[in-house]
Amino acid sequence: MKNKNKELEQVKKRSFWSDETGDIGVKQIAITVAVIVIIAAVVTYLQGGKLNEWIDSIWSYLFNDLIQGNIGGGS
């Protein structure tokens, strides 16, 4: 009797984790929430002025170093 109860309990656990009927499962919801949290963290970090610093440094590298250096604008 105890052995059958144990087997039934194991079958119920397996069916709980493997049975995802419907369009949206628990795993998809968890992944979606994780992606939203990561995007929110990145946006919050970039709003702190880091985005402007990155654009300024990339612009100065591209314009001053590469373009003017290859054209010969600097003497």
Mean pLDDT of all residues in the chain? Answer: 77
Q: Which residue has the higher pLDDT, 67 or 20?
A: 67
In degrees, to the nearest 5, what angle opens at C-alpha 12 toward C-alphas 10 and 14?
Answer: 70
48 against 41, higher pLDDT? 41
Question: What pLDDT sits at residue 1?
Answer: 58
Is the four-CA dihedral 22, 34, 40, 49 of positive or negative sign? negative
Contact status, residue 38 vs residue 45, Cβ threshold 8 Å: no
Report the amino acid identity of residue 34: A
| Residue 75 pLDDT grade (very low, low, confident, very high; cuts 50, 70, 90) | very low
Of residues 22 and 33, the one with the higher pLDDT is 33
Type of residue at 19: D
Q: How far apart are CA 35 and CA 29, in angstroms?
A: 10
